[in-house]
Structure 1
Amino acid sequence: MDLDKIEKLNELKEKGMISDEEYQRAKAKALGSASASDVVGDVDNRSYSMLMHLAQLCGFVIPMCGLVVPLIMWVVKKDDAYINEQGKVVFNWVISSFIYFVICIVLAIFIIGIFLVIALGIVSIVFIIMGAIRAKDGTIQNYPMSIPFFTVDPGAVEKAEALEKKD
């Protein structure tokens, strides 16, 4: 832990020479708790992404709402690299779970599909909560069992930031 470095970072932040996001990243790196490549996206984007993941749960209350609400949230802030990648993660799961649901309905003819629908519902809730926690932590990662319809690039945020710094 480098206290001198943290004090200098705090001075730079107070003078307005670095943003709060840059301060948090540098502080985390100095404390050794996380590297800059492990945690991405600012706090507001992470909260928004977490809500985008949790919005899928609306579909358990109002049909199709679990598709429409995250889609609107993604389209509204798609220009942000972090939210765009999280939107891809969400919709990889939305499309995958729909396909799994259709398969379960077909298998309901043989009774086993009924149990698979229940299992899919439980797994969906667990994966959505896991995805929301990861989004809040700044991690970009597909849900387990998710079919990659959209290519998710965990390094997309760093690439976008590097391009912004060049300009």
Structure 2
Amino acid sequence: MDLEKIEKLNELKEKGLISEQEYNEAKAKALGSKSTTSSDPMGDMDNRTFSMLLHFSQLCGFVAPVFGWVVPLVLWIIKRDDPYIDQQGKVVFNWIISSFIYFIICLILMMLVVGFFLMIALGIASIIFIVIGAIRAKDGVIKNYPMSIGFFRVEPTPVERIEP
């Protein structure tokens, strides 16, 4: 227990420099216990697990097409203040917008029959890209899906070179 930290926190709270919630969280941290007043709606879920679920939430679109973008949007908004989650949300929405454009192109090409095959390929590619994206997110890698158009600027994780 660090009494000096708690005294400093108390001073900051009295001066109005930190909120009551920030005070309670920092105090709990100083005392070595977890805060019970956390504003995190997802509980103790870590960023990598949350971002993996953000990627997998796109699969809701196979149940009801609107859910394929609404559920990821809600999840992204919940924890958008975290830089890692924000980058993963941009990766997800780059793909959602790109796949919608590809879907429209497939619909148009259905007049030439080739669109039916392209639509099937798009569905399979979406599932594969979502799974790969979720695995990368769990591993801490930020990278756009293949064939994804960059509507949002994503700062990919630097690739480490393996020296022979």
TM-score norm. by structure 1 comes to 0.67
Distance in 1 separating the partners of 2:51 and 2:109: 34
- Once the two structures are superposed, the pairs formed by residues 62-81 of structure 1 within 5 Å of their partners are 62-81=64-83
Following superposition, the deviation at residue 154 of structure 1 comes to 3.0
Please say if residues 106 and 115 of structure 2, whose CA atoms lie closer than 8 Å, have aligned partners that are also in contact.
yes
Q: How far did 1:62 drift?
A: 1.4
Output the CA distance in 2 between the equivalents of 1:82 and 1:101: 29
Aligned residues with identical type, % of pairs: 64
The one-letter code sitting in structure 2 at the alignment partner of 1:105 is: L
Asked if residue 150 in structure 1 is aligned to residue 152 in structure 2, the reply is yes
Return the index of the structure with the highest Cα Rg. 2
Q: In the TM superposition, what whole-angstrom CA distance separates every residue of 1:10-29 from its partner, at most 9, and x where no partner exists?
A: xxxxxx99xxxxxxxxxxxx
Unaligned runs of 5+ in 2: 1-28, 31-44, 158-164
Larger relative contact order (C-alpha < 8 A, sep ≥ 6)?
A: 1
- Rounded to whole Å, the distance in 2 between the matches of 1:58 and 1:105 is 21
**C-alpha displacement of 1:125:** 0.1
Q: Distance in 1 between matches of 2:133 and 2:66?
A: 20
Q: Residues 115-153 of structure 1: CA distance to partner in whole angstroms, max 9, x if unpaired?
A: 100000000000000000000000000000000000001
Q: Secondary structure at the match of 2:46?
A: helix
Measured in 2, the distance between the counterparts of 1:148 and 1:62 equals 25
The runs of at least 4 consecutive aligned structure 1 residues that moved more than 4 Å come to none
Give the whole-Å Cα distance in 2 for the aligned partners of 1:89 and 1:145.
12
Higher helix fraction (1 or 2): 1
What secondary structure, in the 3-state scheme, does the structure 2 residue paired with 1:140 have? coil
Distance, in Å, in 2 between the alignment partners of 1:50 and 1:75 is 15
Q: Distance in 1 between matches of 2:85 and 2:102?
A: 25
Structure 1 residue 131 and structure 2 residue 133: aligned?
Answer: yes
Which segments of 5 or more consecutive residues in structure 1 lack a partner in the other structure? 1-15, 18-42, 156-167
What letter corresponds to residue 45 of structure 1 in structure 2? N
Count of aligned pairs = 117
Q: Is 1:102 the counterpart of 2:121 in the alignment? A: no
Q: Give me the whole-angstrom Cα distance separating, in 2, the residues matched to 1:153 and 1:78.
A: 15
What is the root-mean-square deviation of aligned Cα atoms in Å? 2.0
